[in-house]
Amino acid sequence: MLHGKYYIIFILSYLLPSLSIAQSDVHPEGKTVVARFGVPSGYQRTDSLPASFAFFLQHLPLLPPKTPVKFYDGAPNVSCRPAAVIDMEIGDKNLQQNIQTMIRLWAEYLFEQQRFSDIFFHINNGQVIPYEQWTQGMKLVINRKTYWTKTPSNPKQYQTFRRYLNFIFTNSDFHTLLQDVQLSAGVHITPGDILTFDNGADTYVVMVLDAAVHRETGDMLVLLVSGGNPAQSVQVLQNTDEDSATGVWFPLKNGVLTVGEMAFSVKQRYRFRP
- Tens digits of per-residue pLDDT, 102-125? 999 999 999 999 999 999 999 998
* Residues with Cβ within 8 Å of residue 48, at least 6 apart in sequence: 54, 55, 58, 191
| Residue 134 vs residue 62, higher pLDDT | 62
Average pLDDT value for residue range 86-114: 98
Of 274, 124, 272, 235, give the one whose Cα is nearest residue 259.
235
Rounded distance, CA 91 to CA 74, Å?
10
On whether the CB atoms of residues 109 and 264 are closer than 8 A, the answer is no
Q: 236 has which bridge partners?
A: 84, 225
Instruction: Respond yes or no on whether the N-terminal peptide bond of residue 64 is cis (omega within 30° of 0).
Output: no
* % of the chain residues with pLDDT over 70: 86
H/E stretch holding 105? helix 98-112
Instruction: Return the pLDDT at 242.
Output: 62
- Candidates 204, 210, 199, 202; CA nearest to 252 is 210
Which pTM was predicted? 0.88
Residues 181 and 196 sit within 8 Å (Cβ to Cβ): no
* Amino acid identity for residue 176 in this structure: T
Strands 250-253 and 128-130 come out as unpaired
Name the residue ranges covered by the structural domains of the chain.
Answer: 8-272
Map residue 54 onto helix, strand or coil. helix
58-76: pLDDT as tens digits: 999 999 999 999 999 999 9
Q: How confident is the model over 2-24, as pLDDT tens digits? A: 343 334 334 334 333 333 333 45
Alpha-carbon dihedral sign for residues 122, 52, 90, 263: positive
200 Cβ partners below 8 Å, 6+ apart?
Answer: none
Q: What separation in angstroms does the CA of 189 have from each of 49, 148, 208, 267?
A: 16, 40, 8, 9
Q: Within 10 Å of residue 66's Cβ, how many Cβ atoms?
A: 9
Q: What is the 3-state secondary structure (H, E, C) of 143-205?
A: CCCEEECCCCCCCCCHHHHHHHHHHHHHCCCHHHHHHHEEECCCCCCCCCCEEEEECCCCEEE
Q: Let me know: does 213 contact 80? Beta carbons within 8 Å.
A: no
Residue with the bigger pLDDT between 47 and 12: it is: 47
Pairing of strands 270-272, 146-148: unpaired
Residue 82 contacts residue 235 (beta carbons within 8 Å): yes
